[in-house]
Chain A
């Protein structure tokens, strides 16, 4: 069975500092990996996804993520955080092809301090 672990429930960073949110997954084959962001009281928005090819993936809002198969990780990074990045971030894993189930992590809530 596929699973996703986001070990950090809350993270606080200063505005302008770098950010890394951790995501570890469990999946038997080549997974599809996603990062979504959710502002309070809103739906989720897709930041980026990985399926194959270059293991460093660029997304919207200046985010990137790196797929490391040997570590079963797909960590999200941003070089310089802005106050508007405060939100909850979800990592997700799913199989390639078809409409099969995607499993979401429990989320990491990011607080940005001035």
Chain B
């Protein structure tokens, strides 16, 4: 079955450390997204990519970086510049054909905790 795989499910980061969250999809979707979820704040967009080797900042990109070297993969690095990284991170892909939007497909998330 096609889907999105996020790993690891739980991740612990020490102060001053960079960590990378993995996101892989086998849906052949062009667009991929990273969202951050905090209690009571809904989902906030970090970065998104519509095609390989191209990506755009979302609403809260500071302290994060991404790459899109392959269509299937969109890893997110949480850098030491992100001062409050403890959150639940969701990766998603999306298929659009013309004006028809199929909606997002989400992974099961990575919970990042600073220790």
Interface residues of A (CB under 8 A from B): 9, 32, 34, 36, 41-46, 49, 51, 90, 94, 96-99, 101-102, 104-107
Residues of the B chain whose Cβ atoms lie less than 8 Å from the Cβ of A94 = 101
Once bound together, how far apart are the Cα atoms of A96 and B90, in whole Å?
23
The secondary-structure label for the interface of chain B is: strand
B interface, size bucket? 20 to 34
Once bound together, how far apart are the Cα atoms of A101 and B44, in whole Å?
11
A–B pairs, 25, beta carbons within 8 Å: A34-B104, A36-B106, A41-B111, A42-B109, A43-B4, A43-B90, A43-B92, A43-B108, A43-B109, A44-B104, A46-B105, A51-B101, A90-B43, A94-B101, A97-B96, A99-B30, A99-B50, A99-B94, A101-B58, A102-B104, A104-B42, A106-B41, A106-B42, A107-B40, A107-B42
Pick from B6, B42, B96: contact of A98, CB below 8 A: B96
Query: Could you tell me if A44 and B90 are in contact, using CB atoms closer than 8 angstroms?
Result: yes
Query: Could you tell me if A46 and B104 are in contact, using CB atoms closer than 8 angstroms?
Result: yes
Residues of the A chain whose Cβ atoms lie less than 8 Å from the Cβ of B2 = none
Residues of the B chain whose Cβ atoms lie less than 8 Å from the Cβ of A99 = 30-31, 48, 50, 94, 96
In the complex, chain B residues 34-83 whose Cβ is within 8 Å of any chain A Cβ: 40-43, 45, 48, 50, 58
The secondary-structure label for the interface of chain A is: loop
Once bound together, how far apart are the Cα atoms of A44 and B93, in whole Å?
12
Residues of the B chain whose Cβ atoms lie less than 8 Å from the Cβ of A42 = 108-109
Pick from A9, A45, A98: contact of B106, CB below 8 A: A45
The 5 nearest A-B residue pairs measured at CB: A43-B106, A97-B99, A106-B42, A104-B43, A46-B103
